[in-house]
Amino acid sequence: DSGVTQTPKHLITATGQRVTLRCSPRSGDLSVYWYQQSLDQGLQFLIQYYNGEERAKGNILERFSAQQFPDLHSELNLSSLELGDSALYFCASSVEWFGTGPYGYTFGSGTRLTVV
């Protein structure tokens, strides 16, 4: 157990639907990161939040959005789902200060999303 909790572990949904993935960071970590891993794209950075504020954005689609709540948990919302959105979605956290530092990320075990 890495200390980063992701729910649900598996999700099967139909095209056009909307889903929400949840992540609870490791205790004491202020930063949350979302990554997408599909077979052909590898691990792709989507977005980072630090203490409730968006810090960095990767190749996140406009159909996707995220937020970090006051208790530091984060949600990734995926809407108008397409077959190509099927992937593993990982959340990671770190204690990283706003100014960054040499800290590693701790990853959760991921949510496997299947769009049918």
Partner 1 sequence: DAKTTQPPSMDCAEGRAANLPCNHSTISGNEYVYWYRQIHSQGPQYIIHGLKNNETNEMASLIITEDRKSSTLILPHATLRDTAVYYCIVRDHTGANSKLTFGKGITLSVRP
Q: Which residues bind partner 1 (CB under 8 A)?
A: 2, 4, 33, 35, 42-43, 45, 48, 55-56, 58, 88, 90, 92, 96, 100-102, 104-110, 112
- Is residue 114 within 8 Å of 11, Cβ to Cβ? yes
Q: Nearest approach, Cβ of 31 to partner 1 (angstroms)?
A: 10
Nearer to partner 1 by Cβ, of 85 and 96: the residue is 96
Residue 101: which residues within 8 A CB-CB, separation 6 or more? none
Nearer to partner 1 by Cβ, of 55 and 79: the residue is 55
Q: Kindly report the number of other CB atoms within 10 A of residue 41's CB atom.
A: 11
